[in-house]
Chains A and B, each alone.
Chain A
């Protein structure tokens, strides 16, 4: 829930949120003026909490950790490069290591990883205002920074000031916390209200307007902030704090001995390892070798080659390393082919549908991806109730391709078997920016030839691919978007963003009726209505065949040394990783069985072995 990014990113590329329309700026300005008028006369006295608030909390949802978990031990993980800074905002901070730090900055509330209910984290209670924009929070009185100082309302107010400050050199944060979060009001040292810019359903309010505190006593905001705080260890509220740093080599996290939340419901029996060592290993092949040698405890085995081939080595066979695959139900990246409607030939819906029917994803899944991956059904998959599960992707069918193309007069074939109409050839560039997908793209293109459609694979280095796509110069682009909290239609499918560069509507789709639906969806603050609208929009978009979904990975899997233990339920519905050490919602479930570790190490020395273990958990398989 810490993720307040509402604009979606192309995977592997950072892309800022498209600008909002001017109407919203108007609203925002009005609201700011209104607030200034409202707040100015009261500034001399403390704000008064509105009467009649219903304070909510949740101590009834089931916990997902294991009471058998033991504290202690060391766990070693790897990252591919050493972080250029320990700051979590500002230049160079958006690196893969940042999540280790951010996950140790707890949010006010979280969503239950299985049921989605709101659960307390830093806040003990919360209440909603009737304006549907404001949420009130009571901070837990025993919440402490890592340096022992209490976490108070001032730290939240400071966080807003911090995120709006020019000193942090983070324009996205500046913009987001100025435009999306209107203000934070302190009622007493442990009670605050966060006022958002737009009305939203209750659950969404937490996601969009929940803000992480920043230790006010630690930061000195001035123009040297970026340099001064590069390697400073910021106080945090999570279970671990950064320990020894060996620059370029490793970063150690140490468990706080008397962590303030260690007995709190939903946080107890978690974050068990005493020490988490994050090692830098540049090459993934080398990292796997380290793992097999026992110098790393955990390794992600999502890639089919790792799971099926590389993990047949002796340490796996002798049962020292266990394999575990776990189906989850998380938001899936909207990945596949995006057809640009600026291309004349693609404006014909028959051609678009013919392309969709001419792509043999089954062959890819079966012969390249070893039946591990599944076909992605629609743009927004895995968004809970918001996903329209009735949508099925178009399947490979040459007869249908023929029918559709004949209908649009693409009847003749040229010397290479590609359909032609007059002097036009049914040929498109299929650009992509990630070599990992090359095999799939080449197979798809070969199969499409059978349908008389030429897809010319065009690899572009990732920056130029991004530029090409965001300026909408592509015919067909192969990419995936990062996931969000709720389906986001406006940025991808609204005519506001069509036919102009630097927006996320990369298909240039513009349809008046769907625009109206999208506007309704954005303005609606009632969950059921929004869900219904989302289903309708999704269906309409699928019918247009502007986006042809590719594949999804509905599971996470890992290899781990046998002394690592997990709860009986293994992980949660929304776990994206099995051994995440710090994530406030799904992380820190594992523990280290010291006795098993001693036995295993002595067995390894003496050349003995155990029974091998490879488990596939399908509890959350759809």
Chain B
């Protein structure tokens, strides 16, 4: 037992070295580094979208009392002296109070873009889609139904990125472990899964999704599940070869000799040592996840309407080229995000490039 700490220490050091030095290298690759900063910023921002893009007011002061509609239950119009018993229309309330010259104390603070993603804004005498306008606060215009394009882009981005990340986690969990076991155990297990994967990857994914979505209404999680079901195979090949290679290394043999279980060897030793393979693929998988969801939404097999979605916006844009603000907003956003992800991916590949390393057997 006395050997354990020593071994752990050595391995830990190795891991430490592998992780720390790449991060420093990554920081030096400015394009990838800034892309990562921007993307992280966007994700964090989208998490707080309700505070910036919302039809509810941030703060209402009425008769010296403060209300926080975003954080509270729905507040009926009569609470603010209006003549209706349903949820207050804060945009209208603000206008009413601004027009009312006798009003001095009451005020409404609206979020930056005062619309929610499924809300249809019908302007008098105009029919959607509305062109971009600062006056109407539709900064990127509205879609053909009258919903704010910017707001739908933001909420759609949040769904797409979290979808891609969730999909990635599920796919990698399955793919990495099966791949590692295939490489590590070899033999019948390896052969069996090789055949399974070969057969499985030949099933046309799009047809399956079409059939599935005719049987059930796909939701966020069911879509993740369906896509993971057909997406876990890609990682297995890489992990299989990685673990095949690692399995014959001395440290693995040493661990085996000391009686470590197969799972422990894979989890504690093989995966950390092939982490570069996994990390390199992550950004491309994220990009893949986003495009897959967008493509499915574009074909109406993705998330059910009226969920905000880039694919749906793209479809609208393509069908309505006369209203260029729809197509241009979504194409620019999509290209921008995919570009960020690709820059990050390139940077990661760069730092793990074996050409920059020297290996000692």
Q: Which residues of A contact B (CB under 8 A)?
A: 285, 304-305, 308-310, 363, 367-368, 370, 398, 402, 413-417, 435, 438-439, 442-443, 446, 449-452, 457-461, 463-464, 467
CA A450 to CA B215, docked complex, whole Å: 33
| B301 engages A461 (CB within 8 Å) | yes
| B122 engages A367 (CB within 8 Å) | yes
Contacts of A443 in B (CB 8 A): 120, 122
CA A370 to CA B127, docked complex, whole Å: 8
| A439 engages B144 (CB within 8 Å) | yes
Mask of B330-344 contacts with A, CB within 8 angstroms, 1/0: 000000000000000
Question: What are 15 A-B residue pairs whose CB atoms fall within 8 Å in the complex?
Answer: A285-B321, A308-B127, A309-B127, A368-B128, A398-B84, A402-B85, A417-B86, A439-B120, A443-B122, A450-B84, A457-B306, A459-B306, A460-B217, A460-B304, A461-B301
CA A370 to CA B122, docked complex, whole Å: 12
Q: Nearest Cβ in chain B — how far from A355, in angstroms? A: 15
Q: Does B118 contact A (CB under 8 A)?
A: yes
Closest A-chain residue to B122, C-beta based?
A367
| A435 engages B305 (CB within 8 Å) | yes
Closest A-chain residue to B212, C-beta based?
A464
| A415 engages B128 (CB within 8 Å) | no
Contacts of A416 in B (CB 8 A): 73-74, 87
Q: Nearest Cβ in chain A — how far from B121, in angstroms? A: 10
Selected contact of A461 from candidates B73, B122, B300, B322, CB within 8 Å? B300
Closest B-chain residue to A464, C-beta based?
B214
Q: Does B319 contact A (CB under 8 A)?
A: yes
CA A305 to CA B147, docked complex, whole Å: 17
CA A461 to CA B299, docked complex, whole Å: 10
Q: Does B50 contact A (CB under 8 A)?
A: no
Q: Nearest Cβ in chain A — how far from B227, in angstroms? A: 17
Mask of B100-130 contacts with A, CB within 8 angstroms, 1/0: 0000000000000000001110101001100
Q: Nearest Cβ in chain B — how far from A301, in angstroms? A: 15
**Closest 7 pairs between A and B when the two form their complex, measured CB to CB:** A415-B73, A450-B86, A459-B305, A417-B74, A439-B145, A367-B122, A464-B214
| B306 engages A461 (CB within 8 Å) | no
Q: Nearest Cβ in chain B — how far from A418, in angstroms? A: 9
CA A438 to CA B300, docked complex, whole Å: 13
**How many of B's residues come within 8 Å of A, CB to CB?**
32
Contacts of B146 in A (CB 8 A): 439
Selected contact of B300 from candidates A310, A435, A450, A451, CB within 8 Å? A435
Residue of B76, B118, B145 most packed against chain A (CB within 10 A): B145
Q: Nearest Cβ in chain A — how far from B77, in angstroms? A: 9
Q: Nearest Cβ in chain B — how far from A264, in angstroms? A: 46
Contacts of B145 in A (CB 8 A): 438-439, 442
Closest B-chain residue to A439, C-beta based?
B145
Q: Does B213 contact A (CB under 8 A)?
A: yes
Residue of A304, A413, A414, A467 most packed against chain B (CB within 10 A): A413
Closest A-chain residue to B89, C-beta based?
A450
| B120 engages A458 (CB within 8 Å) | no
Chain B residues 129-150 with CB under 8 Å of chain A are: 144-147
Contacts of A309 in B (CB 8 A): 127
Q: Nearest Cβ in chain B — how far from A14, in angstroms? A: 15
Closest A-chain residue to B84, C-beta based?
A450
| A467 engages B214 (CB within 8 Å) | yes
Contacts of B216 in A (CB 8 A): 464
| A438 engages B305 (CB within 8 Å) | yes
| A417 engages B76 (CB within 8 Å) | yes
Closest B-chain residue to A366, C-beta based?
B122
Closest B-chain residue to A452, C-beta based?
B86
Contacts of B305 in A (CB 8 A): 435, 438, 457, 459
Selected contact of A417 from candidates B87, B122, B217, CB within 8 Å? B87
Closest A-chain residue to B143, C-beta based?
A439
CA A458 to CA B217, docked complex, whole Å: 9
Selected contact of A415 from candidates B74, B214, B215, CB within 8 Å? B74
Closest B-chain residue to A432, C-beta based?
B305
CA A279 to CA B94, docked complex, whole Å: 54
Contacts of B127 in A (CB 8 A): 304-305, 308-309, 367-368, 370
